[in-house]
A and B are shown apart, each in its own frame.
Chain A
Amino acid sequence: MSASAPQDGFVVFDKVQKSYDGETLVVKDLNLAVGKGEFLTMLGPSGSGKTTCLMMLAGFETATNGEILLDGKPINSVPPHKRGIGMVFQNYALFPHMTVGENLAFPLEVRGLGKSDRETKIKRALDMVQMGDFMNRRPAQLSGGQQQRIALARALVFEPELVLMDEPLGALDKQLREHMQFEITRLAHELGITTVYVTHDQTEALTMSDNVAVFDDGRIQQLDPPDVLYEEPKNSFVAQFIGENNTLDGVVKEIKGEHCVIELDGGELIDAKPVNVSEVGQRTTVSIRPERVEANRDRLDGDAHTIKAKVLEFIYMGDVFRTRLKVAGNENFIMKTRNAPDQVRHKPGDMIEIGWMPKDCRALDHS
C-alpha cells in the first residue's frame, strides 16, 4: 500500500506543510496515503511532527500549505465535528461528569439518534471492549486499562470509517499495554476501520501496524511494513530508532552491485550491502542488528571478511545471551545469540572473530 500513489488512498496528505510561527516548519512537505482498512502508525521521537499531523487530520490544527483528503474530498475547511473521525486521546479524555453510558451516548445524541438506537449501539460497543457491566460507572471509578477500553468504545460507537489514536497506551503499565495492543489491532481488523496511530514506542509500532511511517524532523524518513522497516532501514536515523543496532564508521573501499567492502577507521575490512552509498571513497555508517552478528566461522561464507572482537561482558538473559564486545574501537557492540545447547558462552577478556552475511550489514549515510 505504501507504493500506491497519493491520490489512491482513503486518507491522503498531499504536500502538507505546517508552521506555527511562520519561521520554522514543524511538518515539511508531507506526502502520505493510507489505504482503506489499513492500520498506519506514525512513529517518531517527540517533536518530530507526528502529533501535529494527527491534529491536522482531526481538524484541530490547520495545514499551513497543501491539502488533506479524506475519501477523495479535501477536508481543510471542514470543522472537526463534521469530519466524522473517531479519536482516542492520550489521556482518554473521558468526560468526568458523565457515566460510561452517557459518555458513549454523547456522539449518538449529537447526531440525533433515538433512544433505542442509542442503547443498541452503546451495548454493542461496550460488549466489543468487554465492558458491558460498566455502563453506570463514572470514569474516575475505573482503572487505567478500563478507561482506555471505554475511550476506544466511545471512538467507535458512532461507527466512523477512520479512527485516530494519539499515544493511547502511554499511561498503561507494560503488561496491560501489550494486551491492549492486541485488542486494538483485533478490533481494527474485525471492524475493517482505517486507523492512524501515533506513538513513540517502536515495539508498539512494529507489533500493531500494517505500515509504519517513521517521522523525524518534520519528514517521513521511511514508510514501510514493520518487517521491512526493521530489516531494511533506509537511513541511519531509522536504523537507530527502530530496534537495537550496532554502528561502525568507515569509508567505502569497493562496490560491486549488491555487495561492497568498507574499510573501517581502524583499517579492518568488512562486508556490507550498499544502501545509501554510491561511490568508492564515501564515508558511511554501517548498521548491523545484534542478532545477525555471528561468532561461528562455519556459518559464514568462506570468503566473508571477519573482524576481531574482545568480549567485555556476558549477560545471561534466559532465552538469549547478550555479549558486549569491543569492535574497531566501539565498546558498545552487542551480539545476541540464542540459548541453544551448542552455543558458546564467552567470558570477558576472550578474543573472538565475528562476521555477518553481507546483506545484514547495511552501509547507510554517515551519521
Chain B
Amino acid sequence: MAMSDASGNDVAIGNETDSKGRLLTSDGRPLRAALDRANRRRKLTAFGLVAPLLAFIVIFFAFPIVQMMWRSVDNPAVIDALPRTLVALEDWNGEDLPSEAVYRALYEDMMADEELPRLEQKIGPLAVRLNYEVSAARGAISRTSRNVDEFEAPFKDAFMDAHRLWRDTEIWRIIEREGRPLTASYYLAAVDAEYDENNEIVRADENRRIYVALFGRTFAMSVVITFMTFALGFPIAYYLSSLPMSKANLLMIAVLLPFWTSLLVRTSAWIVLLQGQGVINEMLVSIGLIGDDNRISMIYNMTGTIIAMTHILLPFMVLPLYSVMKTIPPSYVRAAKSLGATPTTAFRRVYFPQTLPGIAAGGVLVFIISIGYYITPALVGGQSGRMISNEIARHIQSSLNWGLAAALGSMLLVSVLILYWLFNKLVGTDSLKFG
C-alpha cells in the first residue's frame, strides 16, 4: 500500500496509487493508461465503421457547403485582370476622372491579356463580373478590348472615345471597390441593397427589389404548407394510431404511396387536375357552379404550389405524428373521462399536449424541406408561386451569377440554422420524435 501520501487513509485496500495519487493497476502501470490501451482497439473499430460515411459527408456535403459560402464572398476577377490599373488607382482621389497614368495602366493590362492564350484570358470574366455592378460594363469592356491594340497615347482620350463608360467616374469607383479579394456585393444584392456614388450602402431601386420579398414569400408559403400538412395529417395519424396493426399498415401504405411515385408524375397529375381546362374546372363548369369564362386559376400560381407541396410533404408530417400517437396508450383518455372530462376536454387537455413532440418534429421537418423546395414550384409555381430556390437555380443555370446564387444559398442555410436554434431554445430538440 502506498500510504506515503496524506490522503492515504481514504485509499481503499488493494488500490495502489503513485506519487500523484493516480490509481495504478496491479502490475504498476497507471490505471488510466491501461484503460486507454484496452479501449484503443474498440475505438479504432468504431472509427473504421464510421469512416466511409464520414469521408462521404466531408467530401460531398461539408466541402461543397464551405465552397459555396466561400464563393459568395470570393472576388478574384478584378485583381486577376487589372493588376497594373489597381496599383495606379491607389493615388486616385475618387471624385474626378483618374489621371492618364491609370488609363495607361488599363491599356497595359488589356494588352497583356491579349498575349495570353484564349482560355487564360481574364478580361472576359472581368466584363461579366463588372456587369453585375453596372449593366453597361460588359459591352464597354468587350468592345474596348477588341479595339485596344489600335489605341495610341494619350490613352485617356482613346478610352473615353471608345465607350462612354470610361468618361464616367462610376466604373472607376466600382473597379477600385471590387479590386479587393473579398466582396460583400453579392450579399448586398441578395438583400436588395447596393452602393451609391459615395460607396454608402442603400436600398436598391424599388423596381429592382426582388429577393427580400421572395424570402418573405418563401417563408410565408412554408408556414402555410406546414400548417396545411398539420391540418390534414393530424386526423389521419390519429385515425391510424387507433386502428389495429394490420389495418393501420394497409392504410400507412396509402399514406406512403406518394413517396413511391415519381415526383414528376405526382406534379403532372396535379397539373391535369388543376389547370384551366383540367378535371376540377371542367367539373365545376359542367355542374354550373362557375361560368365557362371565369374558371378558377389553381395552378401556375401560389395556390398550385401550396396544393402540390402539401400533398408531397404530407407523409413527413404523418409519420412523426403517427409514431408519437402510437405510444400514447388509450388509458390516458379513458382516465381523463373517468375523472369527469368530456371527450373534448379529454382530447384538448390530455391527448393533444402529448402529441406536441410529434407536431414539433413534423412541423420542423416539413418547414425545413419546403423552405428549400425547388422542383414543384418550378413546375407549377408560375410567377407568383416561385420560391427562393428557383431564383438560386436561375442564377446557377442561366444567369451564371454563381456568387449571388451562393449568397442566396448561404442566407437560406443560415436562416434554417437560426430557426432550428430558436426552435431548440423554445421547445428543445430532445423532445423531438421523428419516428
Q: Are A89 and B339 in contact (CB under 8 A)?
A: no
A79 neighbours in B (Cβ, 8 Å): 337, 343
Query: Which residues does chain B contribute within 8 Å of A111, judged by CB atoms?
Result: 340
| Contact (A107, B354) CB under 8 Å given A91-B329, A93-B329, A93-B334 | no
Task: Please tell me which one of the listed residues A58, A89, A107, A164 contacts residue B340 in the complex, with CB atoms under 8 A apart.
Answer: A107
Bound-state CA distance A91–B337 (Å) is 16
From residue B106, how far is it (CB to closest CB) to chain A in Å? Answer: 71
The winner among A82, A85, A93, A111 for most chain B CB atoms within 10 A is A93
How far is the CB of B435 from the nearest CB of chain A, in Å? 20
The answer to whether B349 has its CB under 8 Å from any CB of chain A is yes
Which interface class (under 10, 10 to 19, 20 to 34, 35 or more) fits B? 10 to 19
Q: Identify A158's interface contact among B340, B342, B346, CB under 8 A.
A: B340
Contact: B339 with A106, CB < 8 Å? yes
* Residue ID in chain A nearest B338 by CB atoms: A87
Within 8 Å of chain B (Cβ to Cβ): is A84? yes
User: Within 8 Å CB of A164, what residues of B?
Assistant: 338
Interface contact B335-A80, CB-CB below 8 Å: no
- A87: chain B residues within 8 A (beta carbon): 334-335, 338
Q: Is the interface of B mostly helix, strand, loop or mixed?
A: helix
A60 CB–B CB distance under 8 Å: yes
Residues in chain B near residue A97, CB distance under 8 A: 353-354
* Chain A residue, CB-CB nearest to B346: A81
The A interface, classified by DSSP as helix, strand, loop or mixed, is loop
Known contacts A93-B332, A95-B332, A96-B354, A106 near B349 by CB under 8 Å: yes
Residues B329 and A80 in contact, CB atoms below 8 Å apart: no
Complex alpha-carbon distance, A68 and B331, angstroms? 22
Choose among B329, B338, B342 the residue with the greatest number of A CB atoms under 10 Å from its CB. B338
Q: How far is the CA of A106 from the CA of B331 in the complex (A)?
A: 15
> What is the number of residues of chain A that contact chain B, defined by CB distance less than 8 Å?
27
Tell me the chain A residues, 95-153 only, with Cβ under 8 Å from chain B: 95-97, 106-107, 110-111
Q: B341 near A: Cβ within 8 Å?
A: yes
Please name the residue on chain A nearest to B333 by beta carbon: A93
Closest residue on chain A to residue B339 by CB atoms: A107
Task: Known A96-B354, A97-B353, A97-B354; judge A110-B331 contact (CB<8 A).
Answer: no
B350 at interface, CB cutoff 8 A: yes
Q: Which residues of the partner chain A approach B341 to less than 8 Å between Cβ atoms?
A: 81, 106-107, 110
CA distance A304 to B331 in the complex (A): 56
What residues of chain A lie closer than 8 Å to B343, measured between beta carbons?
Answer: 79, 81
* In the assembled complex, A322 has its CB within 8 A of some CB on chain B: no
CB distance from A68 to the nearest CB of B (A): 15
Measured between alpha carbons, how far is A110 from B339 in the docked complex, in Å? 8
A18, chain B: closest CB distance, angstroms: 17
Q: Cβ of A91 and Cβ of B331 under 8 Å apart?
A: yes
Tell me whether B336 is interfacial, beta carbon within 8 Å. yes
C-alpha gap A85/B340 in the complex (Å) = 8
Q: Point out the residue from B340, B349, B350 that lies within 8 Å of A84, measured CB to CB.
A: B340
- A79 CA to B338 CA in the complex, in Å? 9
User: What would 9 A/B residue contacts be, using CB atoms closer than 8 Å?
Assistant: A58-B338, A79-B337, A81-B338, A84-B340, A86-B338, A91-B331, A95-B354, A107-B341, A164-B338
Closest 4 interchain pairs by CB?
A107-B339, A93-B335, A87-B338, A93-B331
A87-B335, A93-B331, A95-B350 are known; give 18 further A-B pairs, CB within 8 A. A58-B334, A58-B338, A60-B337, A80-B337, A80-B338, A81-B346, A83-B338, A86-B339, A87-B338, A89-B331, A90-B331, A93-B334, A95-B332, A97-B354, A107-B340, A110-B340, A110-B342, A155-B339
